[in-house]
A and B are shown apart, each in its own frame.
Chain A
Amino acid sequence: MTEFLQLVISGLAVGCIYGLVALGFVLVYKATELFNFAHGDLMMVGAFLIVTTVVTMGLPMWLSAVLVIAAAALMGIVIQFVLVRPMLGQPLLAVVMVTIGLSLIIRAAMLIAYGPIERSFPSPIPRRTYIWGGVRVSLSDLIIIGLTVLCLLLFALFFKRSRLGLEMRATAEHFEASVLSGINANKVFTIALALGTILAALGGMFLANLGVVNLGLGEIGLLAFPAIVIGGLQSIHGAVIGGLIVGVVEKLGAGYLGNDVKYVVVYAVLLLVLLVRPYGLFGEREIVRV
């Protein structure tokens, strides 16, 4: 039982990161219907930016985090104006290809800027491990879980209580109706891209705290995709729960069946969910008039 609990706790910690990244993805998708294949790469950029500000520039962690969040917001705004806005109304495939192109550009730019060498990140979180009933939980895992919960609460409040959050929900629900009722759709899209990129960068910062930063981090963002599909493509809380499920299933798979099959188990669960609920655990069934 201790081993099971240990794997679940480890899975929850890494699942929180997947969940954060998936949350940013869903946020953008809900507002703009943009399926952003560059989302994982934006996460990788966040990880490199925190290394730059903390290690290269020697700034304190809190200031670095603020700067990275600001930079991420700016990136999101630039992506909205340069790539997304001109593509609005274009066929889905064309938009997807633009995001794949963006992914390649980001990777190339990071390779040129930082080179391929792995960078270690001196995490400000002390290497402390707590043992409860034989289950080991590191302080960094607890902080990552805590910050993820905090982010979720803040976003839930933002969507439910703020005017802007309401406008975003309305735009996601029915674009034409929201525009007719006076909502500035461009503003909503821009904020959605900025928030989505901030969440990706936060995921990158958390990943950097786990150890080493390299160009391969963008690949980890791909695990946000099964999380999104399991949770439901349009569900905010579904994205986070999907992330947690992916994290826990991955760890249980690695622990009980071996590292070689851990992703097989994740995608087996994904298939199972799709067979039972094709729109995801918390997604909404779309009724289309034929």
Chain B
Amino acid sequence: MNAPPRGRDLGLMSCHVCRQITAWTEAAHAVCPRCGSALHARKTGSITRAWALLIAAALFYIPANVFPIMRTQSLSSRDDNTILSGIVELWRAGSPGLAAIVFTASIIVPMLKFIILGYLLVSVQRSSGFVSRQRAKLYRFVELVGYWSMLDVFVVAILSALVHFKILSRVEPLPGVVFFGVVVVLTMLSAMSFDPRLIWDNRKTSQ
């Protein structure tokens, strides 16, 4: 066991907001002596909350992909696009590069978040000491890429605001985009409720 000591072992903890180091306390209403925000030794109900939000997000992910997110209406035609068919259309319209970016942001990133957060939660619940350092990195990665999924929501919002020419042509948002926005917000909240410090707690084996 030659892992570096945790704050708990040294009787120290830090403030979430200003990172002031204080003495370790498990008191429910402790506040930071410097900035006055609430102190938590570990985020409260971290695993339960992260699981609940993640499962909710996964459920919403189904209607987000099945229902169309955007309707493009012009004199001659009416197009309902789902996330995937929108990407295909963008690819065909001559910008494969942008289509790849949208595909990454809307399909790959949410999938990665489900898989990574699920894995992190399961491994923490099993007090696994397996590749702890890599798991800590995975967590930071999820936090870093999380909000990029909002890309498609922005596209629909901008287009619906921009393209409004009465009967000539019109873009309208459809329910799918709401579900998708909810998925992104829920996965971000789930990542926020997960406490990465749990990775280093109760490890059965060292390293």
Bound pair: A and B? no
